[in-house]
Each structure stands twice: as structure tokens, then as C-alpha cells.
Amino acid sequence: MDVGSILIVLPLLIIFSYLFDIFARRTKFPSVILLVFTGILARSISSYYGYSNFQFLDSLVPVLGTIGLILIVLEAALELEIKKEKTSIIIKGFLAAFFILMINIILVSIFFGEVIGLSYPTSVIYAIPLSIISSAVAIPSATGLITKNKEFIVYESTFSDILGIMIFYYSVRQVEKGQPLIGLEPIFTLIGQIFLIIIISIAITYLLFQLIQRIEHHVKFFLILALLILAYEIGKDFLKLPSLVLIFIFGIFLSNFKNLIPTSLKKYIKTDKVGKSDLHEFHLLTAESTFLVRTFFFLFFGFSIPLESFVEFEPYIIGATVLLIMYGVRYFYLALVMPDDDSKPLLYFSPRGLITILLFLSISDYDIQKSNIVDEKVLLVIIIASMLIMIQGSINRKKKEDPELEPQQTFTEIVDSQIDKK
């Protein structure tokens, strides 16, 4: 493909993604599904015209996925509002994310081990990505819910992302070392790493916050993003720390610094140079960067899937079983903890997405026994089905329209309202 063709195709893909996003806002049909199927269709067309060299995707998709992961967690953290009156919903979101995630991992790994025949550690590694709720899909789709449910989805899916990623990399390290997944020593080591990364994150967040105030150049937020990505990669690859916590803490602090800085420290930490316009600009920059990276990630992910993958029957059986476990666990947890009628729509908001794909594909990079049965075809079935179930939940909610429902907002309107509250 020549330069002219590339310069035509890339803008067209972005335009299509933008139209998909508008369509998704109005219909609640996730744009991610449209992007994946566009990628699958593009591969079929390319194959028809004799282009079959797709090896570049092996390195491109993980890179886009990692950048997208950082941006999605950062965007989600920027959306979180930390106040005393929100303590209850934050705790509920964290507990739901933790218990639903852990029970899913246990039950899905038992299914993979006892029925499919995967070894014990391999079954756990493959179960973890499939158990993580995608904040990239859940948060935008929850905008039509009543306020308390929308906030619950934001906190639950964000905590599910972070906890799931930490558990995944912890489990991978234990398996590569040939050590048991559960034991006092590795768990205490993990807790120590979390405390260490929190301390490092607070220090880096303080330095970056000061940098934002001191930079007078008109381009500064891309520099901040570059430094965040650099710090993330150094922490993950060289220090072996759960460095996604750094991204989360930075986003939380930047959007809530007026509430988080103790009164006794405000005289030492100047905040007067960070105004509403700066926060607004950084929100929009993060959102647009996330949109761009997410667009190409899901397009290329779809492009990596041959159309013949859909004719096999076994992936549908495995995917349906995992979905049954997934929604069964969610149903019983919500029925036990949040039995009121207002919380019933939350059952459907458990989609899988970018983080599931990224972690699942990264398994091939580690010295771990691979499965030829639980593969990308199973992954695609679970992702698409979980999104369709979420759509069905939205349709059911519309049939019982609640007078408390808020009108749909664009991202800019949401950002403006959040900034005005602060």
C-alpha cells in the first residue's frame, strides 16, 4: 500500500469511528463491536485482493493496547469525584469489583481445569482477563442510568481494571518462577509492592503537578502524558511493580486536588496556577487521545481475526459457559448486597473489552503453557456477547423509564459539569 492510499484510509477509519461513536450514543449499541467487525471486514477485503501479510499486527496491537490501557485508566480516574459523601458508593464499588472478580476467576479456572483440561496455573492465567469488567465500555454506556448506578459502574469497573491487572501480573510472575499462586510470602510481597508503588506514585504525582504549574510552553500536556507512559513502563518492566496504580493516583489527584490536599499542607503546595481551563484541556486531550488509540486498537484487533473463525462451534460453547458463570456470580452478588429495584439494571453492565484483549494476547509473551482451545475465538465470543447483553439491559431499562433518569450528555458537557462542581 502506497503513501497516498494510507493517507486516504487512515482518515476514513477515524471518520467511521466518529460516526460509530455518535451511533452508539443514540442507540446504546457499543461502537467497539462496529470497530471490530469493520476490522474483520477489512481483512476479508484485503485477503480477497491478495494482501495476506499481517505479521505487523503481532507487535502493533499490544503497543496500541498498552497505550490505550494507560489512557483509559487515566480518563476513568479523571472522572472520579472524591468527597466524603461519596465514601459509601466508593466502598461498594471496590467491594463489588474485588469479590465478583475473585469469584469469577475461581469458578472460570475450575471450569477450564476440570472440563477443558488446562493445568492449574494455566487455567487461572486464562481466567483472569475474562473476569475483568471493561471500564472503557461500561462507563460510556452507563451515562443513561440514574446517578447512583452510574457512579457505581464508574467505581466498580475502574477498580476491576486495576485489581485485575495487578492480579494478572502477580500470577504470571509466580507461574514463571514456578512458585504457588497462593502463599503468605508472595502475598506479603505483593502488598509490599503496592505500598511501594503508592509511595512512588505520590512522589511522581507531586513532581508532575509542580511541572504542570511551572511549564509556560503552550504544549505541556502531551509532555505529561509522555512522562506518565515512561514511568509506567519503567515501573512495570524494570521494577516489576503494579505501575498502573501510578496512573490511577495521578488522575485522581489531578481531578480532586482541592479536596485531597490537607489544609495544613496547602501553604506548601501551591495550586493557584492550575485552573479550570487547564483541567478542561487535559480532560479533552485525554479523551481524544483515548478515542484515537481505541479506534485503531479495535480495528487492528478485528483485522487480526480471520472470517473462518466464526464457523467453528466449540468457541460458542466455551464462551456461553463462561458468560453463564460471569452473570450468575454477578446476579447473586447484587441480589445479596444491593437487592433494591433501582439496582437491577446493574446486572447487565459487565462488558469485557480492551483490557481483556490486551492481557489475553500478552499471555503468549510469557513462559507459560499455552492453550489451543481457549483462544482468540473464545475471547471474541465473550466480548461481543457481553456487550450485546449490556445493550439488552439498556433496552429493558428504557421500557421502564425512570423519571429520575438524566438526559444524555456529551463528554464535553460531563467534563464541564464535573469541573464546575470543583
Please state the pTM of the whole predicted model.
0.80
Is 378 within the bounds of a domain?
yes
Please tell me the predicted confidence (pLDDT) of residue 52: 66
pLDDT for residue 308: 67
- If one counts the domains in the chain, the total is 1
State the residue for C-alpha cell 493496547.
65
Look at the chain and count its residues: 422
Position 405 scores a pLDDT of 42
Q: What is the pLDDT of residue 272?
A: 60
164, 248 Cβ separation under 8 angstroms: no
On whether the CB atoms of residues 240 and 196 are closer than 8 A, the answer is no
Please indicate, yes or no, if residue 173 is contained in any of the structural domains. yes
Q: Rounded distance, CA 170 to CA 241, Å?
A: 9
Give 155-213 pLDDT, tens digit per residue: 898 889 888 988 898 888 888 888 888 877 778 887 887 888 888 888 888 888 878 77
Cell of 288: 481524544
> Is residue 238 classed exposed, middle or buried when 0-12, 13-18 and 19+ CB atoms within 10 A define those classes?
exposed
Identify the pLDDT of residue 74.
84
For residue 226, being part of any structural domain is answered with no
Asked, for residue 295, whether it belongs to a domain, the answer is: yes
Distance (Å, rounded) from C-alpha 62 to C-alpha 361? 8
Q: 70: which 3 cell numbers?
A: 494507560
* Contacts within 8 Å (CB) and 24+ apart, 91-94: 92/152, 92/155, 92/156, 92/337, 92/338, 93/151, 93/152, 93/154, 93/155, 93/156, 93/158, 93/159, 94/155, 94/156, 94/159
Q: Is 60 exposed, middle or buried (0-12, 13-18, 19+ CB in 10 A)?
A: middle
Nearest residue to 240 via CA among 249, 248, 232: 232
pLDDT by residue (tens digit) across 17-42?
888 888 877 776 777 788 888 888 88
Residue found by looking up cell 486536588 in the block: 257
- Other CB atoms closer than 10 Å to residue 83's CB: what's the count? 11
Query: What confidence score (pLDDT) does residue 309 get?
Result: 64
Digit-coded pLDDT (tens) for 63-80: 887 887 788 778 777 877
Under DSSP, is residue 123 helix (H, G, I), strand (E, B) or coil? Answer: helix
Rounded to whole angstroms, the Cα distance separating 191 from 195 reads 6
Q: What is the DSSP letter of 112?
A: I
Is 43 within a domain? yes
Nearest C-alpha neighbor of 319 from the set 368, 387, 391, 370: 387
The residue range of the domain holding 324 is 3-180+276-421
Q: Low-confidence residues of the chain, pLDDT below 70?
A: 1-2, 28, 52-59, 262-278, 307-310, 394-422
pLDDT at position 418: 47
Instruction: Give the number of C-alpha atoms closer than 13 A to the C-alpha of residue 185, restricted to the C-beta side.
Output: 3
Confidence at residue 422, expressed as pLDDT on a 0 to 100 scale: 43
Compute and round to an integer the Cα radius of gyration of the chain: 21
Write a three-state SS string for 195-247: HHHHHHHHHHHHHHHHHHHHCCCCCCHHHHHHHHHHHHHHHHHHCCCCCHHHH
Residue 353: the pLDDT is: 83
CATH (domain of 126): 1.20.1530
Asked if the structure places residue 343 within a domain, the reply is yes
Helix (H) or strand (E) holding 396: helix 376-399
Residue 350 in 3-state DSSP?
Answer: coil
